[in-house]
Amino acid sequence: MTGLLVVTAVPAEADAVRAGLTDPTVTVAPIGVGPAVAGAATARLLALAEAAGRPYRAVVSAGVAGGFTGRAEVGDTVLGTASIAADLGAESPEGFIPVDELGMPLALLGVGGVVRADPVLLAALRAALPAATIGPVLTVSTVTGTTASTEELRGRHPEAVAEAMEGYGVAVAAAQAGVPFAELRTISNPIGPRDRDAWRLREALTALTAAAPAFALTATEGDGLRA
């Protein structure tokens, strides 16, 4: 069994993680943007490792994210208690209906619209990053860019701390493979009206590098993650 798999959306995030790593058993791979490509790419990496007889102990979706003002600010590190498919469902005159409430046989797939982080993996990350903000992370296919959509998400997910575009896809791939999962994000911008001038990607990538040693510490917890 090999170490931890850390997946990011883009190479810049992967480079930031690698810059802070001290454990060569941690594999870092950029896999693309969005939940569909993230899920497919992660599933392939996990399957290839399993077929080679060297399955990963756990997988972490890592990278930058938008933060809900007042919950996670620019430069903060966030650990997801759950990854939520925030725009997977249906519209109705009464409002958005989450996929879990549509009566579809999601139980047959082993997952719903919310995938919770593995408690052992999350505890290890929390111990390594005691200053991190803890809470659900939303996965969206369209980045939130208006006041109305921001408030709508706040209303539906009052405990959510951030939004990104890959976590849920990675979480589903991990769940299907029986591999522990967690999500780690660093905040590059506040969620709200789109304003690229307000984004602080360099600060977020620096924070990602600073958080990366936690992956090495987490990799040593492997026996408690997957037998």
* Residue spans of beta strands (DSSP E) within the chain: 4-8, 27-30, 58-67, 77-85, 89-90, 97-98, 114-116, 133-139, 162-164, 181-190
Mean pLDDT of all residues belonging to the chain: 88
Query: What is the reported pLDDT for 118?
Result: 96
Query: What is the reported pLDDT for 164?
Result: 95
In the chain, % of residues over pLDDT 70 = 87
For residue 223, pLDDT over 70 is answered with no
Contact indicator for 132, 122 with CB cutoff of 8 Å: no
Residue 186, both tokens: 């660093």
Query: What is the reported pLDDT for 192?
Result: 83
Buried-state track 205-216, b at ≥16 Cβ within 10 A, e below 16: bbbbbbbbebbb
pTM here? 0.89
Average pLDDT over residues 134-156: 90
Digit-coded pLDDT (tens) for 174-186: 999 999 999 999 9
Query: What is the reported pLDDT for 106?
Result: 53
Three-class secondary structure of residue 136 per DSSP: strand
Query: What is the reported pLDDT for 93?
Result: 76
Digit-coded pLDDT (tens) for 147-184: 988 988 898 889 999 999 999 999 999 999 999 999 99
DSSP string, 203-227: HHHHHHHHHTHHHHHHHTTHHHH--
Length reported for the chain: 227
Contact indicator for 65, 168 with CB cutoff of 8 Å: no
Q: How confident is the model at residue 222 (pLDDT cuts 50, 70, 90)?
A: very low
Distance CA 98, CA 85 (A): 8
For residue 227, pLDDT over 50 is answered with no
Q: How confident is the model at residue 104 (pLDDT cuts 50, 70, 90)?
A: low
* Start-to-end CA span in the chain (Å): 10
Q: Which range among 87-91, 120-124, 190-194, 218-222 shows the weakest confidence by mean pLDDT?
A: 218-222
> Residue 202 class from Cβ within 10 Å (0-12 exposed, 13-18 middle, 19+ buried)?
exposed
Contact indicator for 65, 164 with CB cutoff of 8 Å: yes
Pick 86 or 34 by higher pLDDT: 34
Distance CA 209, CA 216 (A): 12
Residue 103, both tokens: 């009566």
Query: What is the reported pLDDT for 209?
Result: 97
Residue 16, both tokens: 């930031």
Phi/psi of residue 123, nearest 5 degrees = -65, -40
For residue 51, pLDDT over 80 is answered with yes
Query: What is the reported pLDDT for 107?
Result: 46
Digit-coded pLDDT (tens) for 1-13: 578 999 999 999 9
Strands 89-90 and 77-85, sheet pairing: unpaired
